Amino acid sequence: MTISLTPRRLRRTRLTTLAVAAAVAGATLLGTGPVNAATRASADGASADALPIAVHPDQLGKQLNAGFVGFSFGAATVASDSYADTDFAGYLRTLGPHGVIRVGGNSGDATFWTSTGEAAPSWATSGTITPDKLRHLATIVRGAGWKMILAVNLKHPDPARAADEATYARQILGDSLLAIEIGNEPNFYYSTPAAYYADFESDAAAIEQAVPGVGITGPDAETNHSSWLGDFAGLEAGHPDVTEISDHTYPASTCGDSVATIPELLGTGSVQYETANAQAALAAAAQLGVPAAMTETNSVVCAGTPGVSDAFASSLWALDYNLLIAQQGIVNADFMDGTNAAGCDPYSPLCPGTGDLTAEPVYYGMLATELVGTGRFAALDNPDAADVRAYALRNGHRLTVVLDDVQDPAANGAKTVTLDLGGDFGAGHLTALTTSSAAGLSATTGITLGGQQVGAHGAFAKPRSTPVAVHGRSATVTVSAGSAAIIQFG
């Protein structure tokens, strides 16, 4: 599939807050998480320069649920049916029995819905969506046990047509329809949130009358327009229509004359930006008493940057980013250009191969997130959150610790980490996200999770792990720069 991420996207301006800066500097965190091919459990005592990380398993925060990661792709993909000849379903099942596919994107502004065979208008340059095309996608979504968010076109507002599309979506998808998204990044074609909201309300009223009880999401503002979230929530507060606040986040940009780099993507500035966007979405959601989700996200806006978005750095970034926003309360992150069956953008999680799709580096970060499992985030003290992102989750008697060393292995060596587990837990096992390539963070090959690669049709063998001994309430591991470790203690 192809999506249209046009130069109309503005250069992203970073958002920073004192609270975020303090979190990155250290102190007690509800998570911050890489490890390389040399990542291993250490049986020796901690060295003098070891990084001490203390977990507080009795201080619990937000819940990480199964199915946190999902896919987002352009409506043009549905119009072209281009995923129908791939084993997209196999890659969904590898991520797990739960997840969300969001259909929208910029091409949603230029697709036309018809259930009666009408000729498409001249502006519908991204194609036409019909009930039959929806049925093809529904077969994949239902077969994998996933849910779908379907966007209706608001750039060319037509409440009756939006209601008709929602009606067919409910008939075809049934309980697999999570919500209808009304418009994509309306800040590009409405001058103010109030102007957008007037048309949003017209569509919402028509949809709710045609399909009572269907979920509705909004406002799906572009990554650099988080101020729209609060304005939208203020307008909605009197009579909420949405069942979820939806937002878009890309920490780096290649739009216009912007240049994205690996150090930028993995730097603390990106952490600050991601945190600020998540907090804006959560604040808006709290006003309305609904959850917040990143229904469109990825590493670099405007389709990604070669050598950054399609490199191993994006694997480590995706794992860290997912846990970062999940610990704050975001319920779902849908990675843009989920399956580009008609071509491959640099940030695509899945790209077409010979008769199938192939898993790209960011897909490994998504898969690693699901491998972390479920649980509530536990507070921890990490004095080096800028270089080694660390997270802890507790689920009953199980404690999972994620260490994500985002340093360049070309200039940094392995780091010994001493973990104060803060309680009595049994021996652990460590699963590593690594690359065997000498290119390190720039690698596009040799990426493994638990020593395994994602194969044809999404096949993924059981990950291998390394035992981690626990002495009293502590454990010691060695983490190589440019790699990540998921350590589960029983």
- C-alpha span between 489 and 469 (Å, rounded): 9
pLDDT of residue 339: 53
Q: Name the strand (E) or helix (H) holding 171.
A: helix 159-173
Instruction: Report how far Cα 184 is from the mean position of its chain's Cα atoms.
Output: 17
Cross-strand partners of 400? 393, 488
Cis-peptide, bond into residue 219, ω within 30° of zero = yes
pLDDT (tens digit, 9 = 90+) per residue, 438-474?
999 999 999 999 999 999 999 999 999 999 999 999 9
pLDDT (tens digit, 9 = 90+) per residue, 19-43?
333 333 333 333 333 333 345 555 4
Site of tokens 């945190």:
275
- C-alpha span between 38 and 199 (Å, rounded): 55
pLDDT of residue 27: 34
**Are 352 and 341 within 8 A, CB to CB?**
yes
**Are 70 and 334 within 8 A, CB to CB?**
yes
The pair of three-digit structure tokens given for residue 223, joined into one six-digit string: 């990554």
Contacts of 214 (CB under 8 A, 6+ apart): 166, 170, 177, 179, 180, 207, 208
The pair of three-digit structure tokens given for residue 156, joined into one six-digit string: 């060319």
Phi, psi of 398 (to 5 degrees): -105, 140
> Taking Cα atoms as reference points, which of 68, 64, 99, 66 lies closest to residue 327?
64
**Residue 396: other Cβ atoms inside 10 A:** 6
pLDDT of residue 440: 98
> Nearest 5°: CA angle at 322, between 318 and 325?
135
- C-alpha span between 215 and 391 (Å, rounded): 32
The 3-state DSSP class for residue 321 equals helix
- C-alpha span between 452 and 437 (Å, rounded): 14
CATH 2.60.40.1180 residue window(s) in the chain: 25-62+374-489
Report in angstroms the alpha-carbon separations of 288 from 200, 207, 234, 357, 374: 16, 20, 9, 40, 26
**Which residues of the chain fall short of a pLDDT of 70?**
1-48, 84, 338-342, 354-355
Contacts of 324 (CB under 8 A, 6+ apart): 31, 32, 271, 274, 275, 278, 389
DSSP code per residue over 266-284? TSHHHHHHHHHHHHHHHHH
What is 25-62+374-489's CATH superfamily? Answer: Golgi alpha-mannosidase II (2.60.40.1180)
Q: Name the strand (E) or helix (H) holding 361.
A: helix 361-372
- C-alpha span between 111 and 124 (Å, rounded): 5
- C-alpha span between 329 and 488 (Å, rounded): 22
Beta strands in 303-422 (DSSP E): 333-336, 350-352, 357-359, 375-381, 388-395, 398-405, 415-420
**Report field, pTM of the whole predicted structure over 0.85:** yes
pLDDT of residue 38: 40
End-to-end CA distance of the chain: 43
pLDDT of residue 48: 61
Site of tokens 């890659």:
91
**Are 280 and 226 within 8 A, CB to CB?**
yes
pLDDT of residue 258: 95
Fold topology of 66-372:
TIM Barrel (3.20.20)
Site of tokens 């990825």:
298
pLDDT of residue 344: 87
DSSP code per residue over 46-114? PPTT-EEEEEEEEEEEEEEPTT-EEEEEEHHHHHHTTTTTTTHHHHHHHH-S--EEEEESGGGGG-EE-
